[in-house]
Structure 1
Amino acid sequence: MTQYSAFNLELREGIAHVQINRPEKINAMNAAFWTEIRDIFIWIEETPEVRVVVLSAVGKHFSSGIDLMYLAQVGAQLGKEVGRNARTLKRKIEELQSSFNAVDECSKPVLAAIQGYCLGGAIDLISACDMRYSTIDAQFAIKEVDMGMAADVGTLQRLPHIIGDGMMRELAYTGRTVLGDEAHRIGLVNSTFIDQEELMGGVFNIARTIAEKSPIAVQGSKEMIRYMRDHSIADGLNYIATWNSVMLQSEDLRIAMTAHMSKKQPEFKD
């Protein structure tokens, strides 16, 4: 296990387990969090042994969102001149966006396991993941509106593709709390679990299933799904035709077909 200031990182059986590790601060996102998550996902992208990622958190809560002390530090950098302040703030917001872009753009599937609070910036984070799972008593809220601001690190851009435009607007405008059962009903999470132990067991079972598949097939599927979020059906069909004109020549196809015919478990290279 590799331990960062704000994270734990472990690779086992093709699964990279990334844990937010600030339980004494309700896993609030401090300065180290934003730089370390970028570094971790660069490592994940560059490490062929990683087939799938599980993102979770140590303690009772997933995350209370951005650390208010960190916001105060950013505020202390501002002066009296509006134009220069705007440039400083825009650069900082784009820097934070890049941290969750690294999660969204990761070629390996990312599964979020959520318990307790998942507030503010934590919604931005899980919106960048492929799938989300939670305990039944998890609490989700887009809290930025209660702080007098609009969410600016990905929630308003990614969440409509997950729960639909109308529901996203309701949550963004009201800041109300959604519990696990409602989160499941609106599609924010794929399924819920009784407690954190069952949650982690269930999510790792799904991760192990994904890790056994052809990484060419899994990562190609993710690339196509991400592409379709921002393109037409015609664009997507053209892209998959071009993509598979190369990828169907992979030995993974032969291995999968042979295993299927012989009723054996296929084994794929990283």
Structure 2
Amino acid sequence: MADYQAFKVELADNIAHVQINRPEKINAMNAAFWSEIVEIFQWIEDTDAVRVVVLSGAGKHFSSGIDLMLLASVANEMGKDVGRNARLLRRKILKMQASFNAVDQCSKPVLAAIQGYCLGGAIDLIAACDMRYAAEDAQFSIKEIDMGMAADVGTLQRLPRIIGDGMLRELAYTGRTVDANEARSIGLVNRTWPDTASLLDGVFAIAREIAGKSPIAVAGTKEMITYMRDHRIDDGLEYIATWNAAMLQSTDLRVAMAASMSKQKPEFAD
């Protein structure tokens, strides 16, 4: 497994722990972050031993969002020509979007464990995850509005399906801070824990439970849920029929049925 500048990655018990590892910079997303996260999630996709991903931040905070030094470096690349500046910015934005698309498109479930600050670009990141969990000190804010810009890396596209259109508009227009209790009440996070240690214990317990299921069944379930974001019900029913025409032939089905009948825990191959 490679060494990374912005991340620490560990694999144990079929769970990949991907930790943003810049605590001295409040886990701000620097240039290395955006390229490394694509590489990491490609490794996750290619590694059958990985069945679930836990995404966290080292130290007191999950992430303060995009590193301001990175924004300054982009500004320094701009010249006097509006057309060329627009082309440069568009390329940068699309590249950053691709970084979080890699998380969203991962075939394995991604669970975010959030403590402290989760601001700006960090909201874009957790919106690309399957589930979100928080410590009681977590603070969420769509900060881009206070920087004079619209969020452009996924928040405005993914959050309506998570917390609803009206609530997203309120948070995106105001930039106000949401605490852990409100985050749970609006559906931004599934569950909260008193502190970071209990948060990680709880999230890893959920991850272990998922990792114990058939990886074929989990991947198929995620694929179908994701597909339904952009398709009609009858499209989804047609897709699952075609999908399961192949996947129901997996040995995982026989293993699961035998374990259920014998009241034993099933053991699935990677």
Residue of structure 1 equivalent to 2:143? 143
Q: Which runs of 5+ in 1 are unaligned?
A: none
Cα deviation, 1:41-100, whole Å, max 9, x if unaligned, reads 000000000000000010000000000000000111110000011001000000000000
Determine the C-alpha separation between the residues in 2 that align with 1:261 and 1:207.
25
Residue of structure 2 equivalent to 1:179? 179
Residue of structure 2 equivalent to 1:81? 81
Contact 1:131 1:189 in 2 (8 A): yes
1:130 equivalent in alignment to 2:130: yes
Residue of structure 2 equivalent to 1:15? 15
How far 1:3 moved relative to its partner?
3.5
Determine the C-alpha separation between the residues in 2 that align with 1:70 and 1:91.
15
Determine the C-alpha separation between the residues in 1 that align with 2:161 and 2:230.
10
Determine the C-alpha separation between the residues in 2 that align with 1:101 and 1:2.
21
Determine the C-alpha separation between the residues in 2 that align with 1:107 and 1:255.
22
Determine the C-alpha separation between the residues in 1 that align with 2:189 and 2:80.
43
Residue of structure 2 equivalent to 1:229? 229
TM-score normalised by L of structure 1: 0.99
Cα deviation, 1:12-61, whole Å, max 9, x if unaligned, reads 00000000000000000000000000000000000000000000010000
1:252 equivalent in alignment to 2:244: no
1:262 equivalent in alignment to 2:257: no
Contact 1:119 1:142 in 2 (8 A): yes
How far 1:136 moved relative to its partner?
1.2
Residue of structure 2 equivalent to 1:107? 107
Residue of structure 1 equivalent to 2:205? 205
Cα deviation, 1:103-151, whole Å, max 9, x if unaligned, reads 0000000000000000000000000000000011200000000000000
Determine the C-alpha separation between the residues in 1 that align with 2:69 and 2:129.
26
Residue of structure 2 equivalent to 1:60? 60
Structure 1 stretches of 4+ with a deviation exceeding 6 A read: none
Percent identity at matched positions?
74
Determine the C-alpha separation between the residues in 1 that align with 2:12 and 2:72.
38
Q: Name the aligned partner's letter for residue 251 of structure 1.
A: T
Residue of structure 1 equivalent to 2:98? 98
Q: Name the aligned partner's letter for residue 15 of structure 2.
A: I
Q: Name the aligned partner's letter for residue 29 of structure 1.
A: M
Q: Name the aligned partner's letter for residue 121 of structure 1.
A: G
> Aligned with 2:221: secondary structure?
helix
Residue of structure 2 equivalent to 1:152? 152
> Aligned with 1:16: secondary structure?
strand
How far 1:2 moved relative to its partner?
5.2
Residue of structure 2 equivalent to 1:242? 242
Q: Which runs of 5+ in 2 are unaligned?
A: none
Determine the C-alpha separation between the residues in 2 that align with 1:79 and 1:179.
41
Determine the C-alpha separation between the residues in 2 that align with 1:141 and 1:113.
16
TM-score normalised by L of structure 2: 0.99
Residue of structure 2 equivalent to 1:45? 45
Determine the C-alpha separation between the residues in 2 that align with 1:155 and 1:224.
22
Determine the C-alpha separation between the residues in 2 that align with 1:140 and 1:264.
42
Cα deviation, 1:131-190, whole Å, max 9, x if unaligned, reads 000011200000000000000000000000000000000000000000000000000000
Residue of structure 2 equivalent to 1:190? 190
Determine the C-alpha separation between the residues in 2 that align with 1:200 and 1:3.
23
Residue of structure 2 equivalent to 1:6? 6
Distance 1:2 1:17, change over 3 A: farther
> Aligned with 2:242: secondary structure?
helix
